[in-house]
């Protein structure tokens, strides 16, 4: 049963993320330099570089990308390709069920995992997004036209590695280990498809793993510049839609 659960979710390597210390360097907010400070069609002067009004609060992101899970017919056969592609070695995950590999690919807490293709599944990459409340997020996805393929279900930690896993959390992320009484799972997850049939994963991480993925209380929202750029993009996209007419 555990094998089917983890192979469907592509998340077995979560328990192996602490096979070695992994640190992230904080990223500075350098902003975006626009090519012109002239008043544009949005009615703003230097839209992306305009000073931030006092009290401006960028919206809170509802979900945060944490994992890109690759299902491969032969994980070991493609491991070297992705090691070359990303320029770093993939660690073998701490699971006895099947071969699985993982590596951090972004300083903001995103990992790339390589897992076997589960029976009846397809090769490809599935994004997993961390949410604060999995049940609510799943219901929201259903309302929007999504379909649940599997879950929600727990993500158990292998009993054989649980003690060492706990020690490493306490060493690298002591704040996330404070007050934790349940070390049996990494959280809960679900696999869904959007209205077009594309797969997407949702995961509610346990407190002790949030720091590893910059999720939960560690999550950073869009800064003011990112929000202004996106607001300008929305307006420009609408202008483009009106100019091109129906597709």
Domain residues of the chain, as ranges? 2-12+59-244
Whole-number pLDDT of residue 95: 67
Model confidence at 161: pLDDT above 90: no
Whole-number pLDDT of residue 51: 47
What three-state secondary structure class fits 153?
strand
pTM: 0.73
Per 3-state DSSP, the chain is made up of helix, strand and coil in percentages (nearest 5) of 35, 25, 40
Whole-number pLDDT of residue 139: 96
Condensed to tens digits (0 to 9), the pLDDT of residues 20-69 reads 333 333 334 333 333 333 333 333 334 444 444 444 455 567 789 999 99
Whole-number pLDDT of residue 188: 93
Give the residue with greater pLDDT, 244 vs 29: 244
What is the spatial distance between Cα 101 and Cα 92, in angstroms, rounded to a whole number?
Answer: 5
Instruction: For the chain, give the percent of residues with pLDDT over 70.
Output: 72
CATH, domain 2-12+59-244, list 3.50.50.60, 3.10.180.10, 3.30.70.2470, 3.40.50.970: 3.10.180.10
Strand 91-92, strand 64-72: pairing: unpaired
Burial class (CB in 10 A: 0-12, 13-18, 19+), 69: buried
* Residue 114: band (very low, low, confident or very high) from pLDDT cuts 50, 70, 90: very high
């Amino acid at each position: 049963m555990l094998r089917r659960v983890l192979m469907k979710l592509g998340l077995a390597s979560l328990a192996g993320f602490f096979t070695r210390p992994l640190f992230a360097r904080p990223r500075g907010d350098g902003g975006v330099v626009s090519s012109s400070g002239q008043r544009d069609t949005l009615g703003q002067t230097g839209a992306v570089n305009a000073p931030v009004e006092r009290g401006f609060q960028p919206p809170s992101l509802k979900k945060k990308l944490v994992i890109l899970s690759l299902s491969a017919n032969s994980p070991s056969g493609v491991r070297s390709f992705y090691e070359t592609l990303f320029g770093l070695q993939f660690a073998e995950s701490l699971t006895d069920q099947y071969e699985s590999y993982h590596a951090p690919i972004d300083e903001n807490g995103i990992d790339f995992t390589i897992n076997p293709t589960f029976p009846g599944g397809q090769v490809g990459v599935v994004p997993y997004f961390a949410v604060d409340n999995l049940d609510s997020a799943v219901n929201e996805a259903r309302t929007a036209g999504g379909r649940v393929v599997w879950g929600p279900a727990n993500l158990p930690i292998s009993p054989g590695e649980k003690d060492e896993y706990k020690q490493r959390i306490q060493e690298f992320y002591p704040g996330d280990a404070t007050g934790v009484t349940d070390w049996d799972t990494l959280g809960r997850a679900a696999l869904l498809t959007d209205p077009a049939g594309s797969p997407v994963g949702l995961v509610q991480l346990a407190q002790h793993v949030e720091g590893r993925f910059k999720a939960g209380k560690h999550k950073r929202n869009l800064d003011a510049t990112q929000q202004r750029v996106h607001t300008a993009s929305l307006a420009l996209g609408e202008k483009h839609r009106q100019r091109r007419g129906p597709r």
